[in-house]
Amino acid sequence: MRDKELYQQILGIQAPWKVSDKEMDIKAGKVKVHVEQKLGTKQTCPKCGARCPGYDRRRRQWQHLDTCQLKTLLIADLPRVQCAEHGVVSVHVPWSEPGSDFTVLYEALVIDWLQEASIQAVSRQLSFSWNAIDGIMQRAVKRGLERRQVAPPKHIGVDETSFRKRHDYVTVVSAEGKVLHVANERKKGSKYDWLTNPGNLSHKRQRSFKLLRESTLKTARAWAIKDLAMRLWSDVSRTWAEKRWKQWLSWALRCRLEPVKKVAKTIKEHLWGILNAIILKVSNGPSESINSRIKTIKIRSRGFQNKARFRNAIYCHLGGLVLYPQGVCR
């Protein structure tokens, strides 16, 4: 078998593309494989599929998996077409996603590594910049989130996890061991005290709450509203729970205490979930397990520059997403 045909088969290059040349540099441990379209290939717009005239060609190269211990690059003069609707656009190639400098198989390899190690470690091992590896992770999470089809979960867990020191948190919503959503904000903060059983408050919080409770008449009224809310968590019948929570909401929403009204509005919006939590006796055990796995990711990465990257890493490791490029199966 001739070299070009061999590479064509190894790399899985299919018509209308073919291997046109190869440059091997054994000393540098590299092989450059040139690929081109067969003569007479009709061009179409990658966005609308319309037949289009060619515009020009731009040289591009893609990192591929090593072949025979040689670093392997695919090189092609990529045609650009002129679409009446979309203007000048580059055609898509079957071995790579638009805008990527890596073949889909190489991206899949990086994704496999990212499941095991931090971006820093993967970039060191594969000799690519941190930004290049981070780009692959970002694309993987984006396509994973776009593909995701979440059936309404029976149980959800909501927990907050620190992003940095000084009370900088994100809120993580999870179900069945997977992260469904990462919000940049912290959930209701100290207002949560109003919905927490006094027995579950820390000593420090109990003391401050006692002072607050006794400070003014308004606060005492607020405490009474909160106290009643606490008793509603023990219902076992959905019908009764719903009835009693609606009575409570009617009181809380008309109480002329703005902070209480604000909390009541939030509860009204989430009443469906609260009732489910009461009836199903939802435990925060699974959320705590997710939280400890997030801490491991954070330690392994030695922190994150910003919340967007932190969020991406959480989705990448714990989102249960299909991260590979189209056409790659493991």
Residues in contact with Zn ion by CB under 5 A are 45, 47-48, 83, 85-86
Residue ranges in the chain assigned as alpha helix (H): 3-11, 104-114, 119-126, 130-147, 203-215, 217-231, 238-253, 258-269, 271-280, 285-301, 307-318
Residue number of the CB closest to Zn ion reads 45
Neighbouring residues of 45: CB distance < 8 A, sequence distance ≥ 6: 52, 81, 83, 85, 86, 89
Structure tokens at 173: 């919503």
**How far out from the chain centre does Cα 132 lie?**
18
Shortest distance, position 160 Cβ to Zn ion, whole Å = 45
Shortest distance, position 53 Cβ to Zn ion, whole Å = 12
Shortest distance, position 67 Cβ to Zn ion, whole Å = 35
Neighbouring residues of 141: CB distance < 8 A, sequence distance ≥ 6: 312, 315, 316, 319, 321, 323
**Residue type (1 letter), 199:** G
Strands 157-164, 178-183: pairing kind: unpaired
- Of 33 and 93, nearer to Zn ion (C-beta) is 93
Shortest distance, position 98 Cβ to Zn ion, whole Å = 14
Shortest distance, position 58 Cβ to Zn ion, whole Å = 18
Shortest distance, position 165 Cβ to Zn ion, whole Å = 50
What percent of the residues of the chain are helix, what percent strand, and what percent coil, each to the nearest 5? Answer: 45, 20, 30
Nearest to 310 by CA among 130, 187, 184, 189: 184
Cis, bond preceding 16 (omega within 30 deg of 0): yes
Shortest distance, position 273 Cβ to Zn ion, whole Å = 44
- Of 83 and 110, nearer to Zn ion (C-beta) is 83
Are 19 and 4 spatial neighbours (Cβ–Cβ below 8 Å)? yes
- Of 86 and 181, nearer to Zn ion (C-beta) is 86
User: SS3 of 20, please?
Assistant: strand
User: SS3 of 81, please?
Assistant: strand
Report the distance separating Cα 61 and Cα 198, nearest Å: 63
- How many other C-beta atoms lie within 10 A of the C-beta of residue 192? 14
Shortest distance, position 324 Cβ to Zn ion, whole Å = 27
**Residue type (1 letter), 1:** M
- Of 5 and 85, nearer to Zn ion (C-beta) is 85
- Of 25 and 85, nearer to Zn ion (C-beta) is 85
Q: What is the DSSP letter of 322?
A: -
- Of 82 and 289, nearer to Zn ion (C-beta) is 82
- Of 45 and 229, nearer to Zn ion (C-beta) is 45
- Of 47 and 210, nearer to Zn ion (C-beta) is 47
